[in-house]
Chain A
Amino acid sequence: MGTPVIELRGVTTIYEGERIPAIHEIDLVVERGEFLALIGPNGVGKTTLLETINGLLDHKAGAVRLFGLDVRREGHRLRRRIGYIPQAVSFPELTPFLVRDVVLMARFGRIGLIHRPRAADYRAVERALELVGSAALARRPIGKLSGGQQQKVMLARAMAKEPELLLLDEPFSNLDFVAREEIASTIVRLHEELGLTTLIVLHDLKGLPPCCQRVVLMRAGRIFRDGCPDEVLDPLILAAAYQ
């Protein structure tokens, strides 16, 4: 199947000043084109795992490789190829940035030091905003948008990188039903049309899209089950994880 997109071997992450690891000895391999849901109760280490994968958090033990490259050495370069929506991003009302600039900034790493954004960068921003149906918001200040609109902008921001991997941390939290359906169908469409490798953290199981072939269930900082939805979403297994 070629080089895996994500490859974690015995990965442990400990927050600064803490003694107990937030995630323990994680082994996880994700191949190109997979759509994977990461589930588990609050505080189980889902966000920590995502940020360990893209190198925003440094791991204490084990190895994290993306596209075959060590995230510790190549973190900055790798993050330019990964779309990431952090959990519960919300910009205060007076945040002095326009939507199109927030989206454009996702490309600043790959544009490189000193270089200025070019036509291709602005086009990628336009396309990304169109993709999530938010082109009309481009010139609005980000803080003046509703939570759902901001979340769509964050998805556009992730897509503006033209990423090879999408990491989404509870992208549906704080969304009403309509906004949630919209964002979910956009994510599914991206996966189906572009074959984009997608790892989505869900905190409840309602948002699981049908195209999801694999579910990873966490418990207390470890992977508890990893398999197809039918296996993992068994009531007994879930009860043991969410007890």
Chain B
Amino acid sequence: MLLGIFSSTLVGAILAGWSCGLVGAFVVRLNLSSLGFTMSHAAFAGAALGLLLDWDPLLLASLFSLAVAGALGPAAERAKLEPNVIIGITFPLTMALGLIFLRFAPGTALSSTALGLLWGSVLGVTEMELLELAFLSGAMVVLIALFFKEFLAILLDMKLAREAGLNPRPFYYAILFLTGMTVALSLKLIGGLLVFALMINPAATAFQFLHDMKKIILFSPLIGAGAAALGLLGSFAFDLPVGSAIALVSTAGFGLAVALSPKRRRG
């Protein structure tokens, strides 16, 4: 390892927080929370299957997460998702599958690596995974910068985007794809149960303070990176699971934002 375990985990946490915060701005605005929730647990089940079969957990996590995007994306695009039904059905299903896979995974049965898939672990993150996360973050920034107009237009309204003469569909699916990849690549560090918090909280925090989607897209990843870094420090300082610490910090940030938000004040 070139970097020490602490600094490499810190870099990983910042990258994960950054990319989760960035896709989170889109997920929150497009009402895709139930989809993100489902993706993160499917990614957990996928990674667990990876341990069982001794395949690359990351690959299977990505595939599972993207399969959710593919299966539910068309319904989400037409605003025909029933979030309660989807969460009610998929959460137990993915959890049950994931735990069964872990139960039969050779040697690792409920070992720390396996449990890390649920609530995150600083131990499992390899340099290769850091590179992948860095590549994803960079690619997302480039993609969103290049097609900023198109992404912005679908964040206002899909129909108005079409009306303006754009073809929003590829950009909509690009968001789903990037969300799936972000979930899968953040899984080891943050954990399948908690990666969702890192996706929703920073964006929800930014929405409390800002009236302009352009600024929300700018600040949400910064808040995500900050929450992830702080959470990691907290997890080292108080010996907490890293995903839990990050989830707590990001939730606390959101709570603070609600309390202080100018949007709540009247007048």
> Chain A: residues with CB nearer than 8 A to chain B?
54, 56, 76-80, 84, 86, 94-98, 101-102, 105-111, 113-114, 116-117, 141, 161
Minimum C-beta distance from B156 to chain A (A)? 5
Contacts A76-B167, A111-B149, A113-B150; A98 near B212 (Cβ below 8 A): yes
Whether A84 contacts B163 by the Cβ 8 Å rule is yes
Known contacts A114-B146, A114-B147; A80 and B211 CB within 8 A of each other: no
Question: Would you call B207 and A109 a contact (CB within 8 A)?
Answer: no
Interface size class of B (residues with CB under 8 A): 20 to 34
Q: Among residues 129 to 154 in chain B, which have CB atoms less than 8 Å away from a CB atom of chain A?
A: 146-147, 149-150, 152-153
B213 touches A105 (CB 8 A): no
Q: Shortest beta-carbon distance, A15 to chain B, in Å?
A: 12
Q: Are B159 and A56 interface neighbours, CB within 8 A? A: yes
Cβ-closest chain A residue relative to B152: A105
A and B contact pairs by CB, cutoff 8 A, 16 listed: A79-B164, A84-B163, A86-B160, A96-B212, A97-B156, A101-B212, A105-B164, A106-B164, A108-B166, A109-B165, A113-B147, A113-B150, A114-B147, A117-B149, A141-B211, A141-B212
Please measure, in the bound complex, the distance between the C-alpha atom of A54 and the C-alpha atom of B165, giving whole angstroms: 10
The residues of B that contact A76 with a CB separation of less than 8 Å are: 165-167
Chain B residues with CB under 8 Å of A56's CB are: 159, 162-163
Within 8 A of A (CB), among B116-140: none
Residues of A near B152 (CB, < 8 A) are 101, 105, 108
Whether B164 contacts A96 by the Cβ 8 Å rule is no
Q: Is A86 a contact of B159 with CB atoms below 8 Å?
A: yes
**Once the chains are docked, how many angstroms separate the CA of A108 from the CA of B156?**
12
List, in ascending order, chain A residues with CB within 8 A of B212's CB. 96-98, 101, 141
Contacting residues, chain B, for A78 (C-beta < 8 A): 165
The reply to whether A96 and B207 form a contact with Cβ atoms under 8 Å apart is: yes
Q: Does B184 contact A (CB under 8 A)?
A: no
A102 CB contact (under 8 Å) in B156, B162, B216? B156
CB of B5 within 8 A of chain A?
Answer: no
Shortest CB distance A148–B (Å)? 19
Give complex CA distance A56, B210 in Å: 32
Contact yes or no, B163 A86, CB < 8 A: yes
The 6 closest A-B pairs by CB, nearest first: A109-B165, A80-B165, A141-B211, A79-B165, A109-B164, A96-B213
- Bound: A56/B159 CA distance, A: 8
Partner of A94, one of B163, B165, B263: B263
Known interface pairs A96-B213, A97-B212, A98-B212. Does A105 touch B160 (Cβ–Cβ under 8 Å)?
yes
| CB pair B150 A105 closer than 8 Å | no
B103 contacts chain A at the CB level, 8 A cutoff? no
* Contact between A107 and B211, CB atoms less than 8 A apart: no
* A97 close to B207 (CB less than 8 A): no
Measured CB to CB, the closest approach of chain A to B98, in angstroms, equals 35
Contact A107 B164 (CB under 8 A): yes
Tell me the bound Cα distance from A86 to B163 in angstroms. Answer: 9
Q: How far apart are A157's CB and chain B's nearest CB, in angstroms?
A: 8
Complex CA–CA separation, A113 to B146 (angstroms): 8
Chain B residues near A161: list those with CB within 8 A: 164
Other A-B pairs, 15, CB within 8 Å; known A101-B213, A105-B161, A117-B149: A56-B159, A56-B163, A76-B165, A76-B166, A76-B167, A78-B165, A96-B207, A97-B156, A97-B213, A105-B152, A105-B153, A105-B156, A108-B152, A114-B146, A114-B147
Contacts of A141 in B (CB 8 A): 211-212
Contact between B263 and A79, CB atoms less than 8 A apart: no
Chain B residues with CB below 8 A from A116, complex form? 149
Closest Cβ of chain B to A99, distance in Å, is 11
Tell whether, in the assembled complex, residue A94 and residue B207 are in contact, meaning their CB atoms are under 8 Å apart. Answer: yes
Smallest CB–CB gap between A204 and chain B, Å?
25
